[in-house]
Amino acid sequence: QKNSSSRSGSDNSSKITESETCFSAPSLNASTQVPLLVVRVQYSNATFQSSASTWSKKIFSASDGNLNHYLNETTYGKYQFSPANESNGCSNDGVVTVTMNENHPNTQKNSYSCYAEKAIRETDASVNYASFDTNLNGKLDQYELQVMFLVSGGESASSINTPGGIWAMATSLKCDKNEDGSITDSDGEHWVLLDSVQLLDSKSSPYSMNGYSQFGERHGYSSSNTWDATIGVIAHEL
């Protein structure tokens, strides 16, 4: 297990609050269970309103109203997500929280890729990415590990962009990290290298990696009337 000490650029937010109760491992029955890592990304001006355990339950619980229950029903018992092993907060609940030392980028319909690239690197102390490379080919595909960025603030698809918004989608990394006007087949631009494995590039050939999904934390009617994102948009993109 990796050291969970913080690193420059962010607060890894691994402490469990006194009021938080860790969500116990779900009982899953699907014939195919794919590890999913939920990266909760919060910013200086946008912090989460619900605990990591609340989100772990919403995604991984097989009880009615949660994502795994929906997946089990709609795939007739063939597909569910298992919590990815990690050491952040409530260990092995599939959720890692990172706090970036900058304001919410408020990308809305624009690309979040370069922010995702920075956020995934902040999880490295809590996740052994090499352990998911079951076929030992040096990269992670969509059946070895899926990655979801859950970003504090609004879900732009529901018109909530306060204090910043992000548009729900399934996508892959495309970041002009060095700002030279092009995106090359390199670490930080088309994929990220962590623990000697590549991840986040396109699911399609010839890359055959895992891509990622992204969602805003809050849905609502207005900036003053919001609630935690429901599973409908999440299930649609996954």
| Phi, psi angle pair for 119, to nearest 5° | -65, -40
Give per-residue pLDDT as tens, 90-134: 999 999 999 999 999 999 999 999 999 999 999 999 999 999 999
Give per-residue pLDDT as tens, 206-235: 889 999 999 999 999 988 889 888 888 888
How is residue 22 annotated by DSSP?
A: P
Give per-residue pLDDT as tens, 6-34: 333 455 554 454 456 888 878 898 999 99
* Separation between Cα atoms, residue 75 and residue 67, nearest integer Å: 12
pLDDT at 205: 84
How far, CA to CA in Å, does 138 sit from each of 44, 63, 135, 194? Answer: 35, 35, 8, 10
Q: Which two tokens stand for residue 7?
A: 């690193």
pLDDT at 25: 76
How would you classify residue 73: left for phi > 0, otherwise alpha for psi between -120 and 50, otherwise beta?
Answer: alpha
What is the per-residue burial (b if ≥16 Cβ within 10 Å, else e) of 131-142?
ebbeeeeebbbe
* Separation between Cα atoms, residue 5 and residue 126, nearest integer Å: 9
pLDDT at 20: 67
The contacts of residue 121 (CB under 8 Å, 6+ apart) are: 192, 194
